Amino acid sequence: MTDTLKIVPSEDDVDTGVRDTAAVATGLADVLADTYRLTFKTHAYHWNVTGPAFYSIHKLTEEQYENMFSAADELAERIRALGELAPTRFDDIIARSRVEDLDEVPSAGGMIEDLAKDHEKLAHRLHALVELSGGQKDPVTEDLATARSAFHEQAAWMLRSIIAN
């Protein structure tokens, strides 16, 4: 193996004016963990949904997991831009995440309700990140968190609309 391939990732000192980059990166890592787990859960429900609303739920969940998969990369790259390391272990993702698995496979309506609640959890976490990053003079993370929150709020609304009576 060449020396080039032996380089181990490390944290970097970054001086862009952002205060307490470690705290902001921690908030981003928490959001990344939730995003990654919700991406998987959404994809799993996408594969397994059945019933008369199959096609519309299948298409909506596909749009949502594709958006979140792309967002996970953006979140991780922001952590790196702050000079911190993005999570590298799946058990770190699980430990950080507030997204949880259900004990049993739910009905189509149960899937939708579960996903809507998880999107709301993520929106709450993103609102906290907006506040934190604004206080740390980090408008880039603040803008990213605001945009991601808007996505999750809209996703929750769309999902809740499917099961509304």
Instruction: Give domain status of residue 66, yes or no.
Output: yes
Instruction: Give domain status of residue 102, yes or no.
Output: no
What confidence category does residue 1 fall into, taking pLDDT thresholds of 50, 70 and 90? Answer: low
Instruction: Give domain status of residue 46, yes or no.
Output: yes
Mean pLDDT across 4-19: 78
Instruction: Give domain status of residue 2, yes or no.
Output: no
What is the gyration radius of the CA atoms in the chain, in angstroms? 17
Overall number of domains in the chain? 1
Residue 154: give its domain's CATH number: 1.20.1260.10
**Quick one: pLDDT at residue 8?**
74
Instruction: Give domain status of residue 9, yes or no.
Output: no
Tell me which amino acid residue 135 is: G
**Quick one: pLDDT at residue 14?**
78
Q: Which of 15-24, 50-59, 131-140, 142-151 has the lowest mean pLDDT?
A: 15-24
% of residues, the chain, pLDDT over 70? 99
Torsion sign across C-alpha atoms 148, 115, 56, 75: positive
Domain span including residue 151? 19-96+107-163
Structure tokens, 143: 């803008």
CB 138, CB 115: distance < 8 Å? no
Structure tokens, 136: 């740390």
Instruction: Give domain status of residue 39, yes or no.
Output: yes
CA distance 117 to 98: 11
Q: Per residue in 60-109, pLDDT tens?
A: 999 999 999 999 999 999 999 999 999 999 999 999 999 999 999 999 99
CA distance 138 to 56: 38
Mean pLDDT across 32-46: 98
Single out the residue of 97, 123, 88 nearest to residue 40, CA to CA. Answer: 97
Instruction: Give domain status of residue 10, yes or no.
Output: no
CB 122, CB 34: distance < 8 Å? yes
Q: Per residue in 136-157, pLDDT tens?
A: 999 999 999 999 999 999 999 9
Instruction: Give domain status of residue 82, yes or no.
Output: yes
CA distance 48 to 141: 35
Residue 6 has pLDDT above 80, yes or no: no
Torsion angle, alpha carbons of 101, 105, 110, 116, to 10: 30
